[in-house]
Amino acid sequence: MTPLFAIIKSAKTNQEKRKEFIVDLIVTFLFKTIQSLLVKISELEDKLERLSEKKPTYDIFSPKYKRFSVDEPPIVREIEKLDYQEIIKDHKRTFGKELKPVKRRKESSLSPDLVCPYCDAPHQYLYDNDGGRSQILCKVCNNRFAAKKDIQPRTFLQCPYCGNALTKTKVRNGFIIHKCPNKSCSFYLNSLKALSASDKKEYELHPYRFKLHYIYREFITNFFAMDLSTMPGDNVNFKFRKFSPHILGLCLTYVVNCGLSIRMTQNVMRDVHGVLMSHSTIAKYVKTVSAIVSPFVNDYDYEPTKQLAADETYVKVRGIKHYVWFVMDVIKKSIIGYSVSNTRDLEPCMVALRRAFAHVKKFQGKALDLIVDGYPIYDLAKQQFQMNDMDFELTKVIGLTNDDPVTKEFRPLKQIIERLNRTFKFSYRVTNGYGSFEGADSHVAVFVAYYNFLRPHPYKNHHVLNQIKEVDSLPNMPAKWQKLIELSQLHLLGKQAS
């Protein structure tokens, strides 16, 4: 190496070292500057927090957050049919003079055929009480009624807190809202008293944001008259002319057990087994099997324990949100009630709970405990069951943190049904949503059959939850599906014969 080249190399090395030193200085300076700025920001945040007013904590028991709460049922009173002649006689015995007909100053516009619906007093004892609009007052029994209504209600609802008659305020899809308008009602006074100073100011400006009066929702649908087992249309028979029952078992194994979509199952049947079949045939297989297996699954005696859990999860049907409701025994882990709906209202919740409670043999003393989240639809369901002498405890696990002793105690049980939802979503997500409501309903039905009778569970030492000897003795899953279908067919024939 020549001396000149060595000098040049040494100069380059020194220059690079100077550049690295300068870069290190700049980085160190920027790092210290950022640290000092973070300290200043923290100090400013502390000062702003001390100067600003603290936000009030939310009181979940405030009437402001009770718009969707469920009040206790009202008192149902039956209107007693009176006899106007007896009332007139009692009036004469009490006051010593007869109760005379109405003395009119001008000709009456009332029909001569009009009678009081409460005591059958003729039109001579009836007042036009509001200038010809509709209200009539009976002089004999002092009851008011509408002249335009032919049939008067034989019962009326009373507020359980003050005894005042409830008024019909709104008619919604499927139910009627009744309200106690009495401002001397203890329910209203206690709700008003519970308001904070800021809430009172807000209530004066926006009263519709608060629920202060007693409210009762009267549902028009008879939830205990609904049919829980319906056979879907577009089914296929199982007289296999082209395919065998083993092919049916394979299709169900791939769709339900492995969680493949209908079209992916079609590809597997073609590429692995060399069976050419359309995806619509596989979909019809699943739909028909769901119709056959569902009665067997719903009527099976699960002998549930006293602790059940209910929850709902959403699915997509043609891109639109639908809901799947599950009720399971959190001790034995079996799904004992389910339903699919396009709305998150009371009717599908009642269907799932009715299917579950059909396995419960007695409700005395609130022996059953249903664990749910904070969704108020379960309170409405509890109210409907109470009216039909089916009472139970409703335990709510609210939020994601254990802020109260009840939530802390029952959260592990609620998490069991949350894990069930995740298991179900595993078989649902690969489908990218369902193509029809019937497809969603069918898939849920066969999933419940698989979960309860065919799926091995760690809880049972990797055995099925509900063991059936004829099914468990078979060597593979397609054969087990065939046997479960056969048992379900025999169960259907037995129900038809009885």
- Report the percentage of the chain scoring pLDDT > 70: 86
Q: Are 234 and 216 in contact (CB under 8 A)?
A: no
Please state, in angstroms and rounded to a whole number, the distance separating the CA atoms of residues 330 and 420.
Answer: 10
Q: What residues have CB less than 8 Å from 485, skipping those under 6 apart?
A: 238, 248, 289, 292, 293
The pair phi, psi for residue 428, each rounded to 5°, is -95, -40
Highest mean pLDDT among 51-55, 130-134, 305-309 belongs to 305-309
pLDDT band at 301 (very low <50, low <70, confident <90, very high): very high
Model confidence at 267: pLDDT above 90: yes
Q: How far is CA 291 from CA 231, 411, 431, 468, 490, in A?
A: 6, 35, 21, 20, 13
Model confidence at 103: pLDDT above 60: yes
Q: Are 230 and 299 in contact (CB under 8 A)?
A: no
pLDDT at residue 378, rounded to an integer: 92
Tokens 């769709």 -> residue? 255
Q: Are 171 and 149 in contact (CB under 8 A)?
A: no
The DSSP code for 436 is S
pTM comes to 0.72
Please state, in angstroms and rounded to a whole number, the distance separating the CA atoms of residues 279 and 435.
Answer: 12
Q: Indicate the range of 57-71, 207-221, 426-440 predicted with least confidence.
A: 57-71
Q: How far is CA 418 from CA 209, 327, 403, 459, in A?
A: 32, 11, 19, 16
pLDDT digits (tens, 9 = 90+) for 443-482: 999 999 999 999 999 888 889 999 999 999 999 999 999 9
Q: Are 287 and 456 in contact (CB under 8 A)?
A: no
Residue-range domains of the chain with CATH: 65-76+154-219 (no CATH), 80-146 (no CATH), 292-497 (3.30.420.10)
